[in-house]
Chains A and B, each alone.
Chain A
Amino acid sequence: MDIRPEKTAIEVHNLTASYNRKPVLWDIDFSLPQGQLIGIVGPNGSGKTTLLRNMMGLMKPDSGYVNLFGKKLDEVREKVSYVPQRETVDWDFPANVMDVVLMGRYRKSNIFKRLSKKDRDIATESLEKVNMLPFANRQISQLSGGQQQRVFIARSLAQQADLYLMDEPFVGVDAATEESILNLLSEMKKEGKTVVIVHHDLQTAYEYFDWIVLLNTRLVASGPKQEVFSTELLQEAYGGRLTVLSRIGDLMAKQDFPMRESEFKEKEGPGDERAS
């Protein structure tokens, strides 16, 4: 199932992505609506993080492309923000909470410059929104997992974007953090922001999100949650692995198979500069 929204925030077109030539996303194609809370849901290893990384331009797809608000990432970069999984950094870094949140204000335009008073105000406000202001001067090495997560979200809020992509913000956090994030999400929705959240827990996914993308190496479904949450589709996403698909992937890695033959690539449309 693939339901198309009226106003599109993200369009993923025929996206195939791989690590060391082994594809982990096959021909993903869907569009996400603006102004909603969207969950990208699938079991561990189903390619959710890889999908986000492709959306943020941190990885080049083998083929296909992603458009944000109908444009290329570089044209709308300042409107998009990303909250990586918190394990992707070493928290034993000499910095305090405020330092990290201020990083959300670093821009190409203020290289060589000091941050302004306004930047500091925005960072303070962002910390307030995740209830972390009392910890502004705390060393980041001393934060709990939930606090780390909130600091990352605050840093992202400080970027003042329209579209936020968050990778597993609910994993390993305490009740206070979960509540604080959920409150924040409904705030953000009210302000018309689009929030895309990678999530692997089915139970809560239905509660949290308006729109759900079910992913398992390929797209299983994308649409309003009521439509997507059918036993069949869930079974498809969470039921047994697709053994044939994963074996073909292994073969391609071993034999250095090209993902696509080159003449096909030419016909890809707007994505081909990036695909090559």
Chain B
Amino acid sequence: MKELLEFLSFSNPNVRVVTLGTMFIGMSAAMVGSFAFLRKRSLIGDAIAHAILPGIAIAFMVTQSKNPYYLMFGALLAGWVAILLIEAITKHSKLKADTSIGLVLSVFFGVGILLLTHIQHSGAGNQAGLDQFLFGKAASMTTADLKAYSIVAAFLLIVVSLLFKEFKLLSFNAEFAKISGLPVRSLEFVLSSITVLAIATGIQAVGVVLMAALIITPAAAARSWTENLVTLLLIAGFAGMFSGLVGSYISFTAPNMPTGPWIVMSLSAIAIISLVWAPKRGLWSKLKRQRQNREKILTENILKAAYHLSERRKNLSSIISLEDLQGIREFGEAELKKGLRLLSKRFLILSQNDGFKLTEVGRTEAMRVVRLHRLWEMYLTQRMRLKADHIHPNAETIEHIISPEIEEELIRELGYPDKDPHESPIPYK
């Protein structure tokens, strides 16, 4: 607790620099990454991160300094060359986009490693910090770095807000942007450039290898929570910043812990939580919906069987035993028990000593299901001209789906039929 307070008070200047720096990095990467994610270019982040390595190495060799602006400029150049190469290869050869991305990525990365090794061995005084680009070393961040990162973050924010609607169209339907007369190539160039910038700022802290995670993961997590692009960018940005904060905190409390991997770990945790528990789009709610559907089908089938039995007995309020019901339609023992429990919870049936009985509401509900089944059978025979002996299985599933509006439409279109194709009466209220 004391540690947390000390951390949050930002009294240690070094902690302050590292924390703010990683937060800016997280936000910038998430922001531009959202568009890469929506354009289904998830690989491009990885490719750029690897491809800018030789740019950084050359910038260092030429200037003999670790000034963040020089290094970023080198990164930008290498990134552009890589993107243009990927485009050219995809266009002029038979290689698919992912193959050319892989090709450029590995060649550039190889050259980058060669150059870094060369720098290492040439014994330049300043070199010790360069291999951190591979795996990242947030702790070595300086005030000058922080300043550069904040400028980049602000710049990206401005570009994205100015070109927001164009980037939106580019991500949704690039060809339409083109036919609307928008300068698609320039827009793509701007988008690629800010992606390269965001990655170039990030790799000092998290390294080439993990950088791709900072680009794509926040957007993937954010997508689970929202259907609105602005909200998506905000959530992704905050997720990126938050994981920067968490990563810095962990390496603050346990000084041997590297920041970069912890940023990625916390991002992954956010993503997993989002993918599982987000309402609507999450896995959990999907499973829940499926369970609800199964329960709906089960209970409606029981009601229907009960109705058929009552119909035979010409008595809608007779007591129905479980054996009677099984005689109409086979249910698994446990299934049936569960279904009956669900039904009595909703007061659709009343338990009796040796069976159950439909309540008033239960009868109405049972009639509804049977009505939908028979209406749908009518529709299939009359409108889709299917033979009467082929339609039952289809109606078995559709009856659980038909909504009240569709029911109304069906009734209207069929002109209030009173018998189904098998001559059974269609029960109305």
B-binding residues in A (CB < 8 A): 20, 56-58, 77-78, 80-82, 84, 88-90, 93-96, 99-100, 103-104, 106-108, 111-112, 115, 139, 141, 155, 159
Ranked nearest first, the 6 interchain pairs of A and B with the lowest CB-CB distance are A77-B181, A139-B227, A94-B229, A89-B173, A82-B179, A112-B162
Bound complex: CA A44 to CA B122 (Å)? 64
Residue B182 is within 8 A (CB to CB) of chain A in the complex: yes
B221-235 interface (Cβ within 8 A of A): 223, 226-229, 231-232
Which B residues are in CB contact (< 8 Å) with A78? 181
Binds A, one of B164-172, B246-254, B294-302: B164-172
Residue B347 is within 8 A (CB to CB) of chain A in the complex: no
Bound complex: CA A169 to CA B180 (Å)? 19
B141-167 interface (Cβ within 8 A of A): 162-163, 165-166
Asked if residues B172 and A106 are in contact (CB atoms below 8 Å), the reply is: no
Asked if residues A84 and B176 are in contact (CB atoms below 8 Å), the reply is: yes
Residue B177 is within 8 A (CB to CB) of chain A in the complex: yes
Contact pick for A108, options B38, B176, B182, B227, CB 8 Å: B182
Asked if residues B173 and A106 are in contact (CB atoms below 8 Å), the reply is: no
Asked if residues A96 and B179 are in contact (CB atoms below 8 Å), the reply is: no
Which A residues are in CB contact (< 8 Å) with B181? 77-78, 107-108
Asked if residues A103 and B232 are in contact (CB atoms below 8 Å), the reply is: no
Which B residues are in CB contact (< 8 Å) with A107? 180-182
For chain B, which range describes its interface: under 10, 10 to 19, 20 to 34, or 35 or more residues?
20 to 34
Contact pick for B163, options A57, A80, A95, A111, CB 8 Å: A111
Residue in B163, B168, B176, B226 with the greatest tally of chain A CB atoms within 10 Å: B176
Asked if residues B168 and A99 are in contact (CB atoms below 8 Å), the reply is: yes
Given contacts A77-B179, A81-B179, A82-B179, 15 further A-B pairs with CB under 8 A are A20-B94, A78-B181, A84-B175, A89-B173, A93-B171, A94-B226, A94-B231, A95-B172, A100-B172, A103-B180, A106-B180, A107-B181, A112-B163, A141-B227, A159-B180
Bound complex: CA A115 to CA B166 (Å)? 12
Asked if residues A103 and B94 are in contact (CB atoms below 8 Å), the reply is: no
Bound complex: CA A155 to CA B172 (Å)? 13
Asked if residues A93 and B172 are in contact (CB atoms below 8 Å), the reply is: yes
Shortest CB-to-CB span from A15 to chain B, Å, is: 18
A-binding residues in B (CB < 8 A): 38, 40, 94, 162-163, 165-166, 168-169, 171-173, 175-183, 223, 226-229, 231-232
Please list 30 pairs of residues, one from A and one from B, whose beta carbons are closer than 8 Å in the complex, sorted by A's number. A56-B179, A57-B179, A58-B175, A77-B179, A77-B180, A78-B181, A81-B179, A84-B173, A84-B175, A89-B173, A90-B172, A93-B38, A93-B171, A94-B228, A94-B231, A95-B228, A96-B228, A99-B229, A103-B168, A103-B169, A104-B180, A107-B180, A107-B181, A108-B181, A108-B182, A111-B163, A111-B183, A112-B163, A115-B165, A155-B176
Which A residues are in CB contact (< 8 Å) with B172? 89-90, 93, 95, 100, 103
Asked if residues A96 and B175 are in contact (CB atoms below 8 Å), the reply is: no
Which B residues are in CB contact (< 8 Å) with A112? 162-163
Which A residues are in CB contact (< 8 Å) with B163? 111-112
Bound complex: CA A94 to CA B177 (Å)? 17
Bound complex: CA A217 to CA B177 (Å)? 28
Q: Which residue of B lies closest to A159 (CB)?
A: B180
Residue in A77, A88, A93 with the greatest tally of chain B CB atoms within 10 Å: A93
Q: Which residue of A lies closest to B34 (CB)?
A: A94
Bound complex: CA A84 to CA B40 (Å)? 19
Bound complex: CA A90 to CA B229 (Å)? 14
Bound complex: CA A103 to CA B226 (Å)? 20
Shortest CB-to-CB span from B172 to chain A, Å, is: 5
Contact pick for A94, options B94, B165, B178, B227, CB 8 Å: B227
Asked if residues A95 and B166 are in contact (CB atoms below 8 Å), the reply is: no
Which A residues are in CB contact (< 8 Å) with B183? 108, 111
Asked if residues A103 and B162 are in contact (CB atoms below 8 Å), the reply is: no
Residue in A56, A81, A111, A115 with the greatest tally of chain B CB atoms within 10 Å: A111
Asked if residues B166 and A111 are in contact (CB atoms below 8 Å), the reply is: yes
Bound complex: CA A77 to CA B171 (Å)? 21
Which B residues are in CB contact (< 8 Å) with A89? 172-173
Bound complex: CA A229 to CA B171 (Å)? 42
Contact pick for A106, options B40, B166, B226, B227, CB 8 Å: B166
Shortest CB-to-CB span from B288 to chain A, Å, is: 19
Shortest CB-to-CB span from A73 to chain B, Å, is: 9
Shortest CB-to-CB span from A59 to chain B, Å, is: 10
Asked if residues A96 and B176 are in contact (CB atoms below 8 Å), the reply is: no
Bound complex: CA A94 to CA B162 (Å)? 19
Contact pick for A103, options B38, B176, B223, CB 8 Å: B176
Asked if residues A94 and B175 are in contact (CB atoms below 8 Å), the reply is: no
Contact pick for A88, options B168, B175, B228, CB 8 Å: B175
Which B residues are in CB contact (< 8 Å) with A115? 165
Which B residues are in CB contact (< 8 Å) with A93? 38, 171-172
Shortest CB-to-CB span from B379 to chain A, Å, is: 14
Taking A96-B227, A141-B227 as contacts, is the C-beta distance between A88 and B162 under 8 angstroms? no
Which B residues are in CB contact (< 8 Å) with A56? 179
Which B residues are in CB contact (< 8 Å) with A104? 180
Asked if residues A106 and B177 are in contact (CB atoms below 8 Å), the reply is: yes
Shortest CB-to-CB span from B213 to chain A, Å, is: 21
Bound complex: CA A112 to CA B166 (Å)? 8
Asked if residues A94 and B232 are in contact (CB atoms below 8 Å), the reply is: yes
Which B residues are in CB contact (< 8 Å) with A90? 40, 172
Shortest CB-to-CB span from A130 to chain B, Å, is: 17
Which B residues are in CB contact (< 8 Å) with A88? 173, 175
Bound complex: CA A94 to CA B176 (Å)? 17
Bound complex: CA A99 to CA B172 (Å)? 11
Taking A94-B229, A96-B227 as contacts, is the C-beta distance between A106 and B179 under 8 angstroms? no
Q: Which residue of B lies closest to A141 (CB)?
A: B227
Bound complex: CA A84 to CA B183 (Å)? 19
Bound complex: CA A106 to CA B166 (Å)? 8
Shortest CB-to-CB span from A18 to chain B, Å, is: 14
Residue in B168, B223, B229, B232 with the greatest tally of chain A CB atoms within 10 Å: B168
